[in-house]
Copies of this chain bind each other. A is one copy, B any other.
Amino acid sequence: MSIAHLVDDDEAIRDALSWLLRSRGISSESWDSAEAFLADYRDGMRGCLILDIRMGAISGPELFAQLRARGCRMPAIFLTGHGDVPQAVDAIKKGAFDFIEKPFNDNELADRVIAAMQADAELFSAAATTAGIEARLALLTTREREVMERVLAGKFNKVIADELNIAMRTVEVHRSRVFEKMGVRSAVDLAQILAQLAKPDQTSS
């Protein structure tokens, strides 16, 4: 279940938003401060963030930055009462999903939240595959990784054997074990799945 995580120090806004979202079939949870949310935050949370810009000690953008630093990739929608262009520009540049002025149009906001939820779903499925790849990568032994690097550099087993001062046969064994553990059947496949790992694709609006 993915839910909207609402952080705003204004109870009226929290109530209005959670009611609005519920009416669209979106469940939400609320916090009255960034600190409160940070205390509850857990890796792997799903859904989206709806953050007020101005809050107590920690502002929305600051909260967002801290969450990002902690690995959170949930799409964030910022709410602001006073149209601050530089802040909006800055937020979007830093990866915010959207930046909306209060008072907001109910329909529009709900649509944006739904879009954010969808973005999160896509991010999640993308992350699932890369996580799988990384998990397999973690299973490799040191030697296997050394061999893999050189295989990806397009070197012949013979050359790799020389570089590592081991017999060609040993290289072959490592090589095939790498393929096996990574679930691929050729060096080309390996190169391709590793290439997609280093390539996060950006989605917006």
Contact = CB atoms under 8 A, between A and B. Distances in A.
Q: Which of A90, A184, A192 has the most CB of B within 10 A?
A: A192
A6 B46 CA distance: 44
Interface in A18-34: none
A120 interface: no
A121 interface: no
A204 B93 contact: yes
B204 A202 contact: no
Contact of A98 (B89, B152, B190): B89
A187 B185 CA distance: 14
Contacts of A199: 195, 198-199
A83 interface: yes
A132 interface: no
A196 B189 CA distance: 15
A188 B151 contact: yes
